[in-house]
Amino acid sequence: MKIICVGRNYTAHAKELGNNIPDEPVIFMKPKSALLQSHTPFYYPEFTNQLDYECELVLRVCKNGKYIQERHATNYYNAVTVGIDFTARDIQDDLKAKGLPWEKAKAFDNSAAIGKFVDITPALNKMNINFSLYKNKELVQQANSSQMIFSFDHIISHISNYFSLNIGDLVFTGTPAGVGECVVGDDLEAFIEKEMLLKMEIK
pLDDT tens column, 53-104: 999 999 999 999 999 999 999 999 999 999 999 999 999 999 999 999 999 9
Strand bridging mode 51-53 / 112-114: unpaired
Indicate which CATH number applies to the domain containing 190: 3.90.850.10
Three-state DSSP class for residue 31 = coil
Range(s) of the domain holding residue 90:
3-201
- Measured between alpha carbons, how far is 182 from 184 in angstroms, rounded to an integer? 7
**Would you say 68 and 156 are in contact if contact means Cβ atoms under 8 Å apart?**
yes
Nearest-5° Cα angle at 120, 143 to 154: 65
- Element housing 59 (H / E): strand 55-61
What's the domain count of the chain? 1
**Would you say 28 and 195 are in contact if contact means Cβ atoms under 8 Å apart?**
no
- Measured between alpha carbons, how far is 94 from 92 in angstroms, rounded to an integer? 5
Checking if the pLDDT of 15 tops 80, the result is no
Reported as a single tens digit per residue, the pLDDT across 143-179 is 999 999 999 999 999 999 999 999 999 999 999 999 9
